[in-house]
C-alpha cells in the first residue's frame, strides 16, 4: 500500500486533545475525590485534527480546514500539526469562540475524568463565509475529502452544502463521519461511516444484528443519496453496504482494548485513502478494520502507521502462517511503539516445539510481569543444533501460529543463533523472563537488560512436563486407555 500520492482535504471540528498522566495515591481531605499526582503531559490534534494525523501516519498528505480561537491552545495545536509538506494548515481563526480543548486525566491506564473547553455558540455568518473561502481555495488540491462532524459548529448545513456542491463539480469523493442523526444534511456523500448507535438513531430502527444493520444502512443511504455506508460495530467489526451491491462484513479480531478514542478517525482516514488510491471497496474496508484494530490497543488519541496496519492484516489472515511471525526489524519497531505508549515490554524465548502445560504456565507468568510480551523462537536450524537432527517436530511457522494464539503472547519473532543474545540486544525489553531452573548468571542477556534499567524474572515452572519427555513417550508408544503410563 502506498498512499504518498494522495492528498486529503479534511474539514470539520478541530480540537486539542490534552492528556495528563499521573498516579492516584490518596483521597482529598477537601472532598471525597481522588488526588492525582501528575507525572506527564501530552498534547495532540483531536477531532478533524486526529483525522489529519492518521492520514499523515498512513503516508498520505492532508489539508486541514476548521475553526480555532485566537489563544494558546490554537498555537499549541498548530505547532503539533507541523509535518513539513505533509500537512497544509488552512485553519480559520475566529474571534467568536475559543479553540476546543479536551483534557483527560489518566491514572494507571484508566481515564479518571475529562474536562472540555468549548463554546456552544452556533456558527456565525462571517465564520461560515471564511470556511467556504478556505474550502474553495483548497478543494482543487484534493483527491478525496473527509468531513469530520463532531457537532461543534463547523459542519453547519450551509458549509456542508457548499462543500458537497464543490466536490461534486470537481468529481472529488467525499467521506463523512456523521454526528447529526439527519443524514440528509450530508446529501451527495460518497460514503458515510456511522457507528451502530449513530446508524440506529439516523434510521429510527434497531441496528443490532447483520440484517438490521443492512436494512438501516440502506434506508439512510437512500435519504443521503450516498454510494455506500460503512457501519462500525465495535466488537462485531464492520459492515460495508454499497448502494449497488451486497453487504459484506469484516469481523473484529479479539484483542486487549486500551482506548477507543479516535478509532473512528482512523477508520475514515484509512478508508478514504484506500478508495482514493484505487483500492476496491471491500479491500479498503478490511484495511480500515485492521487500522482500527491497531489504534484500540493504544492509550489515548492514537494513529496507525502502514507497518502496523500490514502487521495487523497478517495477523488477521489465519491462512498465512508467516502472518504470525514478525521479522526482527518489525519486532524492534513494535517494541519502540509499545514503549512510546508507556507500556512495559517483556521477553522470553525457547524452542516451544510441542506446546505443553509447562510452556503455557511460563508464558502466563511472563505476561503477568509486563504489559506486552514478545516471544522469540529458535528457528529450525537452531533447534536441530540444540536438540538433535530429529527436531524440531513442528516447523517454525507452525510453532509461531500456536504460540501467537495464546492469550498471554502479544508478538512472536525468531532468531537463528544458538542463543538469543543478539535479539535481546536489538529489542532491549524492560523485563527478561526465564524459568526458575536457571540461575541469574546463566540467563543469556540478563546483564544487558539490567544494565539498561530492566529486570530479570525467574518464573516458577510447572513440574513434570517437557517436550523431550513427550517425544520419548510418543516414540515408545507407551499409552494405555488414553493415559500415559
Assess if residue 243 is contained within a domain. no
129 annotated to a ligand binding site: no
Whichever domain contains 80, its CATH number is 3.40.1190.20
pTM: 0.67
Residue 108 belongs to domain spanning: 7-172+253-317
* Residue whose entry in the numeric block shows the C-alpha cell 486487549: 256
Whether residue 472 has pLDDT greater than 90:
no
Domain boundary among 317, 349, 372: 317
* Residue 436 shares a structural domain with residue 471: yes
Distance CA 429, CA 413 (A): 13
* Residue 454 shares a structural domain with residue 311: no
Dihedral over Cα of 55, 21, 102, 196: its sign: positive
What is the rounded average pLDDT of the residues 29-52? 91
Paired sense of beta strands 431-435 and 345-350, if any: parallel
Q: What is the tally of structural domains in the chain?
A: 2
Please say if 244 is a catalytic residue: no
φ/ψ bin of 285: left (φ > 0), alpha (ψ from -120 to 50), beta (otherwise)? alpha
Domain boundary among 302, 317, 332: 317
Question: For 88, how many CA atoms within 13 A lie in the half-sphere containing its CB?
Answer: 18
* Residue 134 shares a structural domain with residue 65: yes
What is the rounded average pLDDT of the residues 368-372? 91
40 annotated to a ligand binding site: no
* Residue 75 shares a structural domain with residue 110: yes
* Residue 419 shares a structural domain with residue 434: yes
pLDDT digit string, tens, across residues 261-303:
568 898 999 999 999 999 999 999 998 888 887 777 665 556 7
Q: Do the Cβ atoms of 9 and 144 come closer than 8 Å?
A: yes
* Residue 311 shares a structural domain with residue 328: no
Assess if residue 80 is contained within a domain. yes
* Residue 267 shares a structural domain with residue 390: no
- Measured at the CA of 296, the angle between CA 290 and CA 298, to 5 degrees, comes to 115
Whether residue 134 has pLDDT greater than 50:
yes
* Residue 356 shares a structural domain with residue 267: no
80 annotated to a ligand binding site: no
Assess if residue 128 is contained within a domain. yes
Assess if residue 121 is contained within a domain. yes
* Residue 16 shares a structural domain with residue 77: yes
Assess if residue 392 is contained within a domain. yes
* Residue 65 shares a structural domain with residue 127: yes
Paired sense of beta strands 34-47 and 14-27, if any: antiparallel
Distance CA 6, CA 428 (A): 36
195 annotated to a ligand binding site: yes
Q: Where are the alpha helices (DSSP H) in 317-395?
A: 328-340, 357-367, 380-387
Assess if residue 235 is contained within a domain. no
**DSSP 3-state of 16:** strand
* Residue 43 shares a structural domain with residue 153: yes
* Residue 354 shares a structural domain with residue 473: yes
Count of other CB atoms within 10 angstroms of residue 56 = 22
Whether residue 322 has pLDDT greater than 60:
no
Assess if residue 464 is contained within a domain. yes
Catalytic residue among 17, 143, 149, 265: 265
Q: How far is CA 168 from the centre of its chain?
A: 32
Range scoring the smallest mean pLDDT among 68-72, 96-100, 351-355, 412-416: 351-355
Q: Do the Cβ atoms of 93 and 74 come closer than 8 Å?
A: yes
Domain boundary among 268, 299, 317: 317
Which residues are bridge partners to 250 per DSSP? 238
Amino acid at each position: 500500500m502506498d498512499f504518498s500520492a494522495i492528498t486529503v482535504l479534511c474539514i470539520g471540528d478541530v480540537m486539542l486533545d490534552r492528556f495528563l498522566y499521573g498516579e492516584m495515591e490518596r483521597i482529598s481531605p477537601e472532598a471525597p475525590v481522588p488526588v492525582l499526582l501528575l507525572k506527564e503531559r501530552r498534547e495532540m490534534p483531536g477531532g478533524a485534527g486526529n483525522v489529519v494525523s492518521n492520514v499523515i501516519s498512513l503516508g498520505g498528505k492532508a489539508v486541514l480546514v476548521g475553526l480555532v480561537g485566537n489563544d494558546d491552545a490554537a498555537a499549541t495545536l498548530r505547532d503539533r500539526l507541523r509535518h513539513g509538506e505533509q500537512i497544509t494548515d488552512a485553519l480559520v481563526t475566529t474571534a467568536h469562540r475559543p479553540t476546543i480543548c479536551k483534557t483527560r486525566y489518566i491514572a494507571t491506564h484508566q481515564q479518571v475524568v475529562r474536562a472540555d473547553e468549548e463554546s456552544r455558540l452556533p456558527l456565525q455568518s462571517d465564520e461560515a463565509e471564511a470556511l467556504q473561502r478556505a474550502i474553495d481555495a483548497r478543494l482543487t488540491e484534493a483527491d478525496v475529502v473527509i468531513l469530520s462532524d463532531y457537532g461543534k459548529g463547523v459542519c453547519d448545513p450551509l458549509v456542508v452544502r457548499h462543500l458537497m456542491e464543490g466536490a461534486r463539480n470537481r468529481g472529488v469523493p467525499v467521506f463523512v463521519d456523521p454526528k447529526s442523526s439527519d443524514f440528509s444534511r450530508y446529501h451527495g456523500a460518497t460514503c458515510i461511516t456511522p457507528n451502530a448507535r449513530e446508524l440506529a438513531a439516523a434510521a429510527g430502527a434497531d441496528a443490532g444484528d447483520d440484517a438490521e444493520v443492512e436494512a438501516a444502512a440502506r434506508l439512510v443511504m437512500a435519504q443521503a443519496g450516498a454510494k455506500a455506508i460503512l457501519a462500525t460495530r465495535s466488537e462485531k467489526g464492520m459492515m460495508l453496504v454499497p448502494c449497488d451491491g451486497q453487504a459484506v462484513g469484516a469481523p473484529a479480531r479479539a484483542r486487549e482494548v486500551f482506548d477507543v478514542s479516535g478509532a473512528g478517525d482512523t477508520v475514515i482516514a484509512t478508508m478514504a485513502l484506500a478508495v482514493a488510491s484505487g483500492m476496491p471497496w471491500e479491500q479498503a474496508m478490511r484495511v480500515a478494520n485492521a487500522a482500527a484494530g491497531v489504534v484500540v490497543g493504544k492509550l489515548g488519541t492514537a494513529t496507525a502507521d502502514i507497518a502496523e496496519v500490514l502487521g495487523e492484516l497478517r495477523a488477521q489472515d489465519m491462512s498465512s502462517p508467516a502472518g504470525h511471525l514478525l521479522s526482527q526489524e518489525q519486532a524492534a519497531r513494535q517494541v519502540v511503539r509499545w514503549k512510546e505508549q508507556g507500556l512495559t515490554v517483556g521477553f522470553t524465548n525457547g524452542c516451544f516445539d510441542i506446546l505443553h502445560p509447562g510452556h503455557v504456565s511460563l508464558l502466563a507468568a511472563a505476561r503477568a510481569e509486563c504489559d506486552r510480551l514478545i516471544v522469540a523462537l529458535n528457528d529450525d536450524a537452531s533447534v536441530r543444533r540444540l536438540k538433535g537432527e530429529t527436531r524440531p517436530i513442528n516447523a517454525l511457522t507452525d510453532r509461531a501460529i500456536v504460540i501467537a494464539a495464546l492469550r498471554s503472547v502479544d508478538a512472536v519473532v525468531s532468531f537463528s543463533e544458538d542463543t538469543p543474545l543478539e535479539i535481546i540486544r536489538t529489542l532491549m525489553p524492560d523485563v527478561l523472563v526465564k524459568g526458575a531452573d536457571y540461575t541469574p548468571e546463566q540467563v543469556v542477556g540478563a546483564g544487558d537488560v539490567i544494565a539498561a534499567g530492566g529486570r530479570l524474572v525467574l518464573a516458577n515452572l510447572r513440574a513434570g512436563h517437557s517436550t523431550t519427555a513427550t517425544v520419548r513417550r510418543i516414540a515408545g508408544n507407551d499409552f494405555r486407555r488414553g493415559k500415559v503410563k
